[in-house]
Copies of this chain bind each other. A is one copy, B any other.
Amino acid sequence: MRPADAYPDPADAPALRWGILAPGGIARRFAHEIPRYTASRVVAVGSRDLGRAEAFAADHDIPRAYGSYAELVADGEVDAVYVASPHSAHLELASLALTAGRPVLVEKSLTRNAAEARELFDLAASRGLFAMEAMWSRFLPHYRAVVDAVHDGAIGEVLTVTAQHGQHLVFGPEHRLWDPALAGGAMLDLTVYPLSFAHALLGVPDQVHAFGALSELGVDTGETVVLRYGERTVAVAQASLETAMANEATIAGTHGRIDLAGSFYTPVEVALSTHDGASWRLPVQHEGGFQFQAAEVARRVAAGETSSPLMSWQASVEVMELMDEARAQLGVVFPGE
């Protein structure tokens, strides 16, 4: 496996002036990590609730707070917009930013479904603007090292991939995750991680088999999704809103195995062992995590590109298609889809 420092340092990326649309938990983490680990800064935040925007701005030393999304995207000193709303509003807010001429980084899952993802990227293409899904794990050095090692054949032919993302989320039915109108459920928030991991390793499966449970309001509280690639390879993605899983990932191949020790989608130690007795460990070498995706945006935008090969438009659409299929099998439909 390549060492973590084989991948570019986020601190070396060009600086961007970020605007955040919709201050919430995930925006909080972005606002904390980007100024700390990159040359970029968050210069504005927009919310439908000005008081909320102002409180968020005060917490994170952000110069400007807006009481509407339109005001934020009109701010001429915002180089790029990070969309951090619930999934149900991703397309609308990203479209607002793109129409105003701003490149966008859109929190994962990108949209509610693949049709919305295509609409978002079509708009970016028509404007010649950068757009990317904020699937931050894909940009982490250990994650890239694992994907590169597998693609380089380090463990031979991949036979099984397993990955979980189970969280014991105790908040009640008033939370967005329990609300179908806000595209709640485990799929777009949690299952997207193991699914995107399998996709990064193996691409588009030949078959999808989803087994899951629905809440009374019809959101998926958790699922096991089996992806089949050809005759020999199976990936199993599991997630739950109700239980804290081990959240490890393992890739087993004909020549060896790679284990991601815990919470595989965050910075963790990776171990590779081959059947001939060789082994390799990749320790965690950094804090944070969101800086890697933000640095990638800064590099691509500076280069005048509209997408990143690390999370391409096609990859985002393919993962959304996977989730569309899994949701269809589970019977999860969001109002207005």
Please report the C-alpha to C-alpha distance between residue A48 and residue B242 in the assembled complex, in whole angstroms.
56
Count copies of this chain in the complex.
2
Tell me if A2 is interfacial: C-beta within 8 Å of chain B. Answer: no
Query: Across the interface, do B166 and A160 meet the contact criterion of CB distance under 8 Å?
Result: yes
Please report the C-alpha to C-alpha distance between residue A282 and residue B245 in the assembled complex, in whole angstroms.
19
Tell me if A259 is interfacial: C-beta within 8 Å of chain B. Answer: yes
Which of chain B's residues have a CB closer than 8 A to the CB of A236? 162, 224, 236, 238
Chain B, residue nearest A240 (CB): B159
Tell me if A285 is interfacial: C-beta within 8 Å of chain B. Answer: no
CB distance from A256 to the nearest CB of B (A): 8
Binds B, one of A20-28, A85-93, A226-234, A298-306: A226-234
Binds B, one of A123-131, A136-144, A247-255: A247-255
The contact of A213 among B231, B245, B253, by CB within 8 Å, is B231
Number of A residues contacting the other chain (C-beta, 8 Å)? 38
Please report the C-alpha to C-alpha distance between residue A256 and residue B245 in the assembled complex, in whole angstroms.
9
Which of chain B's residues have a CB closer than 8 A to the CB of A160? 164, 166, 222, 224, 238, 240, 243, 245
Which of chain B's residues have a CB closer than 8 A to the CB of A242? 159, 254
In the complex with contacts A236-B236, A257-B243, A257-B246, A222-B159 CB distance below 8 A: yes
Tell me if A209 is interfacial: C-beta within 8 Å of chain B. Answer: yes
Which of chain B's residues have a CB closer than 8 A to the CB of A221? 232
Query: Across the interface, do A234 and B211 meet the contact criterion of CB distance under 8 Å?
Result: yes
A residues sitting closer than 8 Å to B (CB atoms) are: 159-160, 162, 164, 166, 168, 170, 209, 211-214, 221-222, 224, 226, 228, 231-232, 234, 236, 238, 240, 242-246, 248, 250, 252-254, 256-257, 259, 273, 275
